[in-house]
Chains A and B, each alone.
Chain A
Amino acid sequence: MYIIHGTWIPKDTDDFIQSGAFYVWIETGSVQQTAPGYRLKYLAERELTEVLADEFKLAAAAYIKQHSRTCNLQLPGSGGHPLPSPELARWLGVTPPEDEALALIQHPVSAFPLLDVLQTLGNLHFLTTYLREDTQPGQDLLFWIHHAHALKSIVLKDQYIPALKYRELSGKHKGAQNFEIYPGWEIVSTEYQDQLQLALQQMPLACTTASEGQQPIQYDKEGLLRHFSECTLTQLITQTRLPAVFENKIRGTLLHDCLNAGQTQAVQKGASALERYRQWQSWQQALTVQYGDGFQLGFQLLDAADEGSPWQLNFVVSARQDPSLKLQLDDYWWLDPKARKALLNTFGADFERHLLLELGYAARMVPLLWRGLETDRPTGLTLTLEEAFAFLKEEAWVLEGAGFKIIVPAWWTPEGRQRAKIRLKASGKKIPAKADTGRSYFSMDALVKYRYEMAIGDQTVTPQEWQQLVDAKTPLVQFRGQWVELERDQMQRMLEFWQNHGQQDAELSLGELLQKAASAEDEVDVSQNSVLAEMLAKLQEPARFQPITDPPEIHGTLRDYQKRGVAWLQFLEEIGLNGCLADDMGLGKTLQVITRLATHRSQVRQPSLLVAPTSVLGNWQKEIEKFAPQLSTLIHHGSERQQTPADFKALCSERDLVITSFTLARKDAKLLQGIKWNRVIIDEAQNIKNPQTAQTKAILKLKARHRLALTGTPVENRLLDLWSIFNFLNPGYLGTQAQFRKQYELPIQKDNRLEQSTVLKKLVQPFILRRVKTDKAIIQDLPDKVEHKQYCNLTQEQASLYEAVVREAEREIEEAEGIQRKGLILSTLMRLKQICNHPRQFLQDNSPFTAERSHKLERLSEMLDEVIAAGESLLIFTQFTEIGEALDKHLKNLHYRTYYLHGGTARKRREQMIGAFQDPDSEPSAFILSLKAGGVGITLTQANHVFHFDRWWNPAVEDQATDRAFRIGQTRNVFVHKFVTLGTLEERIDQMLEDKKKVAELVVGSDESWLTELDNAGFKRLIALNRSTVLD
């Protein structure tokens, strides 16, 4: 693991021009048995050069070697040694002391000064986020990546100007020429000011304490930020290569001088330099004055009542501090002097002068405005239709870009705009209400029959009307009472197109249609009130789905949004599209899928196939048993599984659903590909994110009528995952991987382009149903506390251990009596619970605490990943300290931020951990608590997920623990996940508790002693292992 660090280091100099450089260095480390348990290392010059040159390709090795140097860091340390950074610490699985005051320790590192800082920081972000899993940016570097990104948009918007800096000389320079003037650059941008304020709060101290020199140093954050921005911008500009033609064009000008900014030879002296400075100053003043002023000038366009009437453009001012305070200039001039004076408090003392200046600046850019200034009380002006159109099309943008407020009629805004367009009107057949048998009406490549028609906004236009509009001489017309923009050339083309194609039916595949709808041009639209339009509208807005009626096939109640989800699944299958159900974890994707399976069993028995991680196979089976026991399932897993194609086929034909794991989807690829499935469902679809793996390839080859992907992680943000999932669902829809990379992945992830990201969203949105817990509609539909059991299987290893303990207990129970018998029962229960958690806990042999040995642990890790990825925090309760400890270490190794509270935690440390966890600005974290130490008293409402890793067989005690998160101060729904191991005592005791709940007489005590009341046969039944639930 490499942690790249970096910060801006100003040159250690008193020179007037103080430059600086952005240094990066690399931290790495390894786990060691001896104290302190790890070894920390910063790459020395040779290794640094290798990594930066060969692996990251930042520059040529020789260059890096030549320019690298030693910088001095100051790092928080303990015992005279620096501590690892949080990223490395997490990877090493060590917990640095969070809140105690630590000494700063000087530490030299080899560091390399970046070239092209803005660009390289962007590349490092791309590299660490998307390319390399073994490399992470440190918090220091990550901060600068963000700030540099913000600086890019300043450059993108041309918000900087050539500048002159006036330096007064003192002392020996005193005389006639006691000043020097330096050309340079200045950022003029309100966004930049806002960014600085934000960055100041985000900047960690780590960014301020590195230096080139020997002396420990700490810079003020704001100064350092500004120094970085100014130096980096100047560097960027002065390194821009300009062609000789351009240089000749500007030779001798201020601009040309500014290209040598930051160099001492560019300095100017004397009266003419001073005069130029003053000229520049007055110019700069004109550009910057509005930023300090109390008001903003605006232009409000009011549309004409009808085509013959004039349009009105009004001058409006609004207060900067309170934009809701708005005043038409027309009203202002008629105020009495007292009222006007009162306004100056808000608008600024020099309001009228600045107003005239702002009006002048605006009019200089948009000369039309002068017409409104031919009076001593300017209030606005009237426009002709053509002028109004030009204003809307062009000039309003110019003014808005220059910082004026623009208010245009609603019909011109993107939402309200009515455009002329060609619409597709699906013709011929209707989509059958229910595609019960055989082929669906649509599929991705099924052809949609349609005709073209012409429309403006929502309204169909006859060719005659259209022709009249084309013949109209004006760019804006009132069409059926609404102002509409006419682009005559385009409309003429549309008319010709329609004349050529409009008469007969045409065909388009559904995939092409959706692609057309997503692309930026909106000339093509689908006619409303048509089956096709209804279909597209539904796809675009899943909220339109009517929830299905309560299905009698399901033993349980579905929530409203779940019924809507099932309707969506049904609709997609009916129209032959394959989608991805991506609801947040805890919203019940499983139940929605089971409902779909149960309500739509194919009449000819054609089984569906579900591929899922091994850790959830049992859970699926259990949930199906619970909600739809009439569905017959087959778990295709384990060494006993049927592997003969013919027999397998026969076996499958009797089932509704075959459930298998990703591993077997690969191993038994041939077998599974031999069957034509009704549906193939991929649970945790992020498992097929890598298109290169044999597993993904095998799954792509499965034959099915319908495909469905399930995931709880927001796939839209991980583009390669997205492509791969779509490659499974609707192959070809997003292009080949190479095309996708070029068209979307690179522009969006590397260059952060908004346009492509919008188009991609539109493309995939019809296929993804993602509801999040925080949606208003969902919150209303959910109880504040959602309890859910998570069923897991035992691994082969666990099963063997379990059986051995059971055999021994069965033998001994026959001979035991009284206290001894009680003791035996309790200790057996304890040992079996340990086995269900993890073999190591039972063996106590310090063997590896790995997920392969326990599906429970594996499932916990997977779920935790989803919770943290969603930016949420969680609690994990266990009654065993050895599990708490092991989990803490295990999760830290997986780079999660964790806290662990147990009986031995010192009071002060406990308070610190709670404080840090509850801090709303802290990273999402996992808080592990032992049930006894953490079950009462404390508040951990920052978490909205609670996991009970093992069970305390008393619901009251578990509820009390859950209430750490579910209590006053909790603003979100709380999700409680209780782990139950299938086929073991855990499942049986859970069932007993459920039954007891039903008869509403909770006779259980505060511990497990009630179980000792069982007779021998009952006890044996309780602990017996159901072999069929064991999975490897």
Chain B
Amino acid sequence: MAKLTRTWWGQRFIEALEKFTEPGRLGRGRSYANSRRIHSHSIKDGKVTAKIEGNINPYFGVYKTPMYTTTVQLTPMSQAQWDKIIPHLAGKASMISQLLMNEMPAGIEEALGDLGLHLLPANAKDFKTQCSCPDYSNPCKHIAGLCYFLAAHLDRDPMLLFELRGLSHQNLQQALLKTPLGRILAQALTQQELPLQPVTSYYTRPRSLNVEKKVSYRDFWAGEKRLTPTLEPLPPPGLPAILIKKAGDSPPFWHQQQSFIGVMTEFYERVKKHAKI
């Protein structure tokens, strides 16, 4: 089974949940994490509210597909705490460049630990959860499901954590603008999504030109420049898969347990072997 989260920060989020959730409910919760069960979700003031499709269960007197309302909220940080956290982040190129790369800065928890703070939830005290299902236990499997769902979202958008911790997008922007490095991140955050790049053909389509009625024999058979008399020797094989290494081992579309770079390296090797070059 594919992992529900691939990043260390998503993992940290799940670990916190797992500390105070009964294993059976965790297991069932995983199957709720896909978006087909979660019909809608919204975040307001750091509180996540979702509509989750439950199961028919005559034992509990549930005879038609139920729809539960589930909420998860992380303990919000105070303004005073944010005033410490943001300058701390925005004072280091390492933090900003990781956030620019859409990654949770690796040293963030240690850095905030020095201030006696933590951003990622650590245990039950960081969660406030609720569900309308008949299960007496909190967290129930729906809450667990929603948490898995959030962890996966965090994977792709680590900035979401600020919102879950109660810092609105607008306030984050304002705080960032106060330092030179923060300003760079703030600008990047306001940037629109990349525009879609529609193509009109799958491969570049060669255009048909007006056929030349008359040509010179020379122009027909020779280009403007001569070809080199011999083929250049091919370079010796360099380091494998170097191009894709640059964008990291966790591209957003990659949900496998195996290392993306590892898989691509093997793949490139096989192509070369097949091509016999």
Contact = CB atoms under 8 A, between A and B. Distances in A.
Interface of A: 10, 16-19, 74-76, 83, 85-86, 96-104, 116, 118-119, 122, 125, 138-140, 142-143, 145-146, 149, 152-153, 155-159, 161, 165-168, 179, 182, 184, 188-189, 198, 201-206, 209, 216-220, 223-224, 226-227, 230-231, 234, 236-237, 239-242, 246, 249-250, 252-255, 262, 276-283, 285-287, 352-353, 356-357, 359-361, 363-365, 370, 373-378, 397-398, 401-403, 717, 748, 751-755, 757, 871, 916, 921-923
Contact of B274 (A166, A241, A364): A241
B221 A85 contact: yes
Interface in B85-142: 90-94, 96-98, 100-102, 106-107
B23 interface: no
24 contacts: A17-B201, A101-B214, A101-B216, A119-B277, A143-B227, A149-B234, A152-B277, A158-B242, A165-B199, A179-B198, A205-B220, A218-B209, A223-B204, A242-B270, A249-B256, A249-B258, A277-B196, A285-B194, A286-B246, A356-B96, A361-B101, A378-B93, A397-B239, A752-B232
B201 A923 contact: no
A220 B207 contact: yes
Contact of B93 (A204, A276, A356, A871): A356
Contacts of A230: 203-204
A278 B234 contact: no
B229 A871 contact: yes
Q: 9 smallest A-B Cβ distances: which pairs?
A: A360-B97, A223-B206, A401-B242, A373-B94, A279-B252, A101-B214, A226-B204, A219-B206, A754-B233
Contacts of A188: 243
Contacts of A281: 194, 196-197
A918 to B, nearest CB: 13
A717 B207 contact: no
Of residues B217, B228, B230, B275, which shows the largest number of chain A Cβ atoms within 10 Å of its Cβ? B217
A278 B194 contact: yes
Contacts of B263: 249-250, 255
Contact of A361 (B94, B225, B229, B247): B247
A239 B268 CA distance: 13
Which DSSP category, helix, strand, loop or mixed, fits chain B's interface?
A: loop
Interface in B227-271: 227-248, 251-256, 258, 263-264, 266-268, 270-271
A378 B230 CA distance: 47
A397 B242 CA distance: 10
B239 A156 contact: no
A1 B222 CA distance: 21
Contacts of A223: 204-207
A462 to B, nearest CB: 37
A921 B236 contact: no
Given A249-B256, A253-B253, 4 more contacts: A17-B203, A276-B253, A353-B100, A753-B236
Nearest to B239: A401
A198 B221 CA distance: 17
B70 to A, nearest CB: 22
Contacts of B225: 198, 201-202, 921
A83 B270 CA distance: 45
Nearest to A278: B193
Contacts of B202: 16-18, 165, 167, 182, 184, 262
Nearest to B253: A279
Of residues B220, B263, B267, B275, which shows the largest number of chain A Cβ atoms within 10 Å of its Cβ? B220
A872 to B, nearest CB: 12
Interface stretch (B5-13, B165-173, B181-189): B181-189
B231 A125 contact: yes
B218 A99 contact: yes
A205 B264 CA distance: 39
Contacts of B90: 376
Given A83-B217, A280-B253, A283-B253, A167 B212 contact: no
Contacts of A96: 217
Contact of A139 (B222, B234, B246): B222
A167 B198 contact: yes
Of residues A158, A205, A227, A253, which shows the largest number of chain B Cβ atoms within 10 Å of its Cβ? A158
Contacts of B205: 10, 18, 223, 227
B249 to A, nearest CB: 8
Given A18-B202, A118-B275, A165-B202, A254 B253 contact: yes
Contacts of A83: 217
A748 B233 contact: yes
Contacts of A242: 267, 270
B80 interface: no
Given A119-B275, A376-B91, A104 B212 contact: yes
A102 B197 CA distance: 43
A376 B92 contact: yes
Contact of B223 (A204, A240, A361): A204
Contact of A218 (B100, B211, B217): B211
B243 A253 contact: no
Given A18-B203, A165-B202, A287-B246, A205 B184 contact: no
A184 B202 CA distance: 8
B244 A161 contact: yes
A104 B211 contact: yes
A282 B242 CA distance: 18
Contacts of B200: 167
B156 interface: yes
B277 A751 contact: yes
A836 to B, nearest CB: 36
Nearest to A401: B242
B197 A365 contact: no
B226 interface: yes
B272 interface: yes
Of residues B90, B100, B193, which shows the largest number of chain A Cβ atoms within 10 Å of its Cβ? B100
B68 to A, nearest CB: 23
B64 interface: no
Of residues A156, A188, A254, A280, which shows the largest number of chain B Cβ atoms within 10 Å of its Cβ? A156
Of residues B181, B212, B223, which shows the largest number of chain A Cβ atoms within 10 Å of its Cβ? B223
Contacts of A227: 203-206
Contacts of A218: 208-212
A184 B199 CA distance: 12
Contacts of B204: 223, 226-227, 230
Given A102-B215, A359-B97, A398 B239 contact: yes
B50 to A, nearest CB: 17
Given A149-B231, A242-B270, A155 B245 contact: no
A360 B222 contact: no
A254 B268 CA distance: 15
Contact of A102 (B107, B217, B226): B217
A156 B214 CA distance: 41
